Amino acid sequence: MDTARHELPRWQFDLTWSLFEYHLERLEPEDFLWEPAPLCWTLRRDGEDGAWVPDFAETEPDPVPVPTVAWLSWHIGWWWGVALDHARGRTPRERAEVVWPGRGEASVEWLRGLRAEWTAALEELGEEEWQATAAFPWRNDPEYTVAHMVAWVNAELMKNVAEIGQLRMLRAASRS
């Protein structure tokens, strides 16, 4: 990896992750399924096999439901897993294949595992790979490179970290 050229996106990722760790270390199992409003997207147990199933719509509803920490952590697993699949040259997983491990430490460790895999994938990228056309999330638009995908992951993670942090703090404040 050309450290001079790709140092900034890695620094930004590490900064965002450090902010995430602040919240991950403080999340309680009850935080994950807390619904802060009547209109929420969360995860629910499937009646057949007990797996966690996310609320989801192909077209974003209006108004947009407030996601729970559970939904946001599943969502991170979905989009980051697909980004990892593309970065590693694997067939991208389908949304329904992304299994949320449950509330509490299982989800925290799952997210940390995604971070470790992403960090390793970035370290393995050569200069040509950074400049190659990214298939995700733009569907092979030649204007966008793997470097753009890395920047998108940073932005998406930053947004989701802020949402999870805000939900955690709102729940903590509402119990006071």
Render each residue's pLDDT in the chain as its tens digit; 176 residues: 445 668 899 999 999 999 999 999 999 999 999 999 999 999 999 988 889 999 999 999 999 999 999 999 999 999 999 999 999 989 999 999 999 999 999 999 999 999 999 999 999 988 898 998 888 887 767 789 999 999 999 999 999 999 999 999 999 999 87
State which H helix or E strand residue 58 sits in.
none
How far is the CA of 69 from the CAs of 36, 58, 59, 174, in angstroms? 10, 20, 21, 16
Domains of the chain: 3-44+64-175 (1.20.120.450)
In our burial notation (b when 16+ CB lie closer than 10 A, e otherwise), range 65-98 reads bbbbbbbbbbbbbbbbbbbbbbbeeeeeeeeeeb
According to DSSP, the residues that pair with 44 across neighbouring strands are 53
According to DSSP, the residues that pair with 54 across neighbouring strands are 43
Using one digit for the tens of pLDDT, what is the confidence trace for 33-81?
999 999 999 999 998 888 999 999 999 999 999 999 999 999 999 999 9
Which contacts (CB < 8 Å, 24+ apart) does range 122-129 have? 122/1, 122/6, 122/10, 122/13, 122/87, 122/150, 123/1, 125/1, 125/6, 125/87, 126/1, 127/1, 127/2, 127/5
* CB atoms closer than 10 angstroms to residue 131: 12
The pTM score is 0.93
The whole-number pLDDT of residue 140 equals: 67
